[in-house]
Structure 1
Amino acid sequence: MLHRPDKKPARPYFSSGPCAKRPGWSLGALDNALLGRSHRAPEGRARLREVIDRSHALLGAPSDWKIAIVPASDTGAVEMILWALAGDAPIDVLSFESFSGLWAQDLRDELRLPRLTVHEAPYGALPDLSAIDWSHDVVLTWNGTTSGVRMPGPEAIPATHEGLVICDATSAAFAMDLPWDRLDVVTWSWQKALGGEAAHGMVALSPRAVARLENGASRPLPKIFRLTNRKGLIDAIFQGDTINTPSMLCVEDALDSLRWAEAIGGLPALRARSEANLAAVTRWVEKTDWIAFLASDPALRSSTSICLKIVAPWFVALPQDGQGRAVKALTGLVAAEGAGYDLASYRDAPAGLRIWGGATVDTADIEDLLPWLDWAYQAVSKEYAA
């Protein structure tokens, strides 16, 4: 039996959403929140516009793109775009984990698009990118939050393409470089790489996407999905007039995260922190015989949602429900010690571990977590391998 580790992570928070707050965060960061005031007052609009402007600059989005705060987190952002845009052209969608699979399901079963091609791959892999028809609209997830698989790089998308490229980037934005010149719609939420609070999403539109919204055939949409009216794009939404009432506490928290990111060096520093977290896990995996990356190709491994599979023969031999119970027991032991929380893989993913490695997580905390995983594994294996 391994010796029980002596050191615990200073911040044992490894959930993939809502994610760890930025280092040094406290409730004092919210002291100046605009509470008891209307979000439509000049001060409220100014705070909302500040989130938009700081996000625009930090992500390096082109100056002619439009960015808005929208309801219902990244899910709401993606859904509003699919319902507003999908179907005007043939569409290809990549499906390789829970949420990309959900977008494919909605396009097929809810919108019932007749000119739809679904490119599928199992957890841990990407679909065949060479099979995509880039003259079609394409829906892709840049980083699979539930599979730990990310796009290999900007070259995966042709520099010139006829269709619109709609990118769900919720666990990639603020941690990875996005090829803005090859994308047309990008969505994300505050609760991932910024460590913000839930329920608010953001959508960024290229001029090509705006033109399609204004000129394309539209279907009836509920109010919370509408970015256009009879006059065209509702430009006020992109100036800080939100579609529905936002939480000004969450807005203040998002501003705190953005200011922290700027202070440490912007996107390059955020990316470096996340890659350092992946590197720490990689070193551990390479010397540990019971664990492996869910993504076998190193070029596809996510630096934010780091997904792992247990490869010990006794675990592989268990039925699916038994594997789930073993993972629950393992992660439960670590949580009971206060050494790491929310470490089990997503409910629809293969049973295993998932460690959030976004920039708000300190590498030292991941390094302090890993011995606890070894310790808990030893304890669980004695019970389940017998």
Structure 2
Amino acid sequence: MIGKPTTRPLRPFFSSGPCAKPPGWSLDKLQIDSLGRSHRSKLGKGRLAHCIQLMRELLELPETHRIGIVPGSDTGAFELAMWTMLGARPVTCLAWESFGEGWVTDAVKQLKLEPRVLHAPYGELPDLGEVDWSHDVLFTWNGTTSGVRVPDGEWIAADRVGLSFADATSAVFAYDLPWDGIDVATFSWQKVLGGEGAHGVLILGPRAVERLESFTPDRPLPKLFRLVSGGKLNEGVFRGETINTPSMLAVEDAIFALEWGQSVGGIEGLIARSQANAAALDRIVTKRDWLGHLAADPASRSTTSVCLTLQGADEGRIKRMATLLEAEGAAYDIAGYRDAPPGLRIWCGATVDAADVVTLGPWLDWAWEQTA
């Protein structure tokens, strides 16, 4: 009989579940002042622009790429890109998890396009060598619901004619992304930065800007999607002049997270923390014959949203384990995504400490035995 562990992992600074802030976290006077002011005030626009500049610095993003804060989290940012840019060329959609399938649904049922779709089951990637780069190509860089990522950007053609659209919500700040191969990228603050939800970030390379200024889609565009006026890009959006009213509290939270990211070594430090967490979890899996990785190939295995299989366990047992662990304060929200095969999903992003991943191991043993 395995006894109940006595040491519990600390909660990560991650907003999708109960979260904490690092020791010493507090708002300074400038931050407090910005919370009571309009986002259109000089102070408000200054803080939004500061947030954008911090993202640029932390990502080491080239000046050729623009960064805008938009509504609707990553989904809003990605759909904004789809609605405004797709239709000029044929489209290929890559789908190997839930959100990639969602973009297929958007392309087919909402935008009435006829995309070529390259599917792969959960845990696998489609053949990236089959991608036709005369098409616009939509893909998820890091599959949050499957634990599968593209291994690198080598498969993205340098001489591509179409645009590359990367849903990178759980990849940005966790991988060294090849920005010269990415025309459109989207993410949200609540993943690797552990920030608040509701806001998305849209990154546009020069080829995406050219598409926006040269192509007029034959579909209605809601106000929140309108990035072009008079045939020219609305540059204000990429200076912090948001189309809609943002939460300045969420913006200040993002600024804090970005400054924290700088304090732990910048993008290299954030990547190293995620890799250390994933390695610690892999050691737990390797030592237990009843645990496995949904993504069998280490080259395409996520280091942020790591999805695990449990030998012979059905959805009911997974839920019982997750309920037990949450009741003990040992782990939160770790049951796999509802559309994925039954399993666990462990967040290993940079806001988690590797020592706490190690602490999770004995708790998994205990919950596994308790639900046998």
Which TM-score applies when normalising by structure 2? Answer: 0.96
TM-superposed deviation, 1:217: 2.5
Partner in structure 2 of residue 288 of structure 1: 288
Q: Are 1:156 and 2:155 an aligned pair?
A: yes
The one-character-per-residue Cα deviations of 1:229-285 (angstroms, maximum 9, x if unpaired) are 224111111111001000000000000000011111100000000000000011111
Distance 1:186 1:243 in 2: 19
The one-character-per-residue Cα deviations of 1:316-338 (angstroms, maximum 9, x if unpaired) are xxxxxxx2221110011111111
TM-superposed deviation, 1:62: 1.2
TM-superposed deviation, 1:87: 1.2
Q: Secondary structure at the match of 1:201?
A: strand
Distance 1:14 1:247 in 2: 19
> How is 1:193-212 mapped onto 2 (pairs within 5 angstroms)?
193-212=192-211
Partner in structure 1 of residue 118 of structure 2: 119
TM-superposed deviation, 1:156: 2.2
Task: Pick one of 337, 346, 360 that aligns with 1:346.
Answer: 337
Task: Pick one of 337, 353, 363 that aligns with 1:372.
Answer: 363
TM-superposed deviation, 1:19: 8.5
Q: Are 1:258 and 2:258 an aligned pair?
A: yes
Distance 1:243 1:179 in 2: 28
Partner in structure 2 of residue 44 of structure 1: 44
Higher RCO (CA-CA < 8 Å; seq separation 6+): 1
Give the root-mean-square deviation of aligned CA atoms: 1.6
Distance 1:157 1:20 in 2: 37
Distance 1:129 1:246 in 2: 37
Q: Are 1:362 and 2:361 an aligned pair?
A: no
Partner in structure 2 of residue 129 of structure 1: 128
Indicate if the aligned counterparts of 1:306 and 1:354 stay in contact, CA closer than 8 A. Answer: yes
Indicate if the aligned counterparts of 1:85 and 1:212 stay in contact, CA closer than 8 A. Answer: yes
Indicate if the aligned counterparts of 2:70 and 2:76 stay in contact, CA closer than 8 A. Answer: yes
Partner in structure 2 of residue 336 of structure 1: 327
Indicate if the aligned counterparts of 1:23 and 1:361 stay in contact, CA closer than 8 A. Answer: no
Q: Which amino acid aligns with 1:349?
A: A
Q: Give the % identical residues.
A: 51
Indicate if the aligned counterparts of 2:67 and 2:202 stay in contact, CA closer than 8 A. Answer: yes
Q: Which amino acid aligns with 1:234?
A: N
Alpha-carbon distance change, 17 to 93 in structure 1, aligned in 2, over 3 angstroms: farther
Partner in structure 2 of residue 91 of structure 1: 91
Tell me, which stretches of 5 or more residues in structure 2 are unaligned?
Answer: none
Distance 1:14 1:4 in 2: 25
Distance 2:14 2:257 in 1: 17
> How is 1:143-222 mapped onto 2 (pairs within 5 angstroms)?
143-218=142-217, 219-222=219-222
Distance 1:19 1:53 in 2: 29
Distance 1:338 1:19 in 2: 10
The one-character-per-residue Cα deviations of 1:19-64 (angstroms, maximum 9, x if unpaired) are 95564374x2476231221000000000000111110111121111
Alpha-carbon distance change, 344 to 249 in structure 1, aligned in 2, over 3 angstroms: same
Q: Secondary structure at the match of 1:155?
A: coil
Alpha-carbon distance change, 132 to 19 in structure 1, aligned in 2, over 3 angstroms: farther
Q: Secondary structure at the match of 1:138?
A: strand
Partner in structure 2 of residue 310 of structure 1: 310
The one-character-per-residue Cα deviations of 1:60-104 (angstroms, maximum 9, x if unpaired) are 211111110000100000000000011110011111101111001
Alpha-carbon distance change, 128 to 20 in structure 1, aligned in 2, over 3 angstroms: farther
TM-superposed deviation, 1:157: 1.4
Distance 1:265 1:139 in 2: 31
TM-superposed deviation, 1:15: 6.5
Distance 2:179 2:236 in 1: 23
Q: Secondary structure at the match of 1:156?
A: coil
Partner in structure 1 of residue 60 of structure 2: 60
Distance 2:76 2:337 in 1: 20
The one-character-per-residue Cα deviations of 1:284-307 (angstroms, maximum 9, x if unpaired) are 111101110000111111010011
Alpha-carbon distance change, 129 to 277 in structure 1, aligned in 2, over 3 angstroms: same
Distance 1:163 1:308 in 2: 35
Alpha-carbon distance change, 134 to 16 in structure 1, aligned in 2, over 3 angstroms: farther
Q: Secondary structure at the match of 2:68?
A: strand
Partner in structure 2 of residue 268 of structure 1: 268
Distance 1:363 1:306 in 2: 14
Partner in structure 2 of residue 297 of structure 1: 297
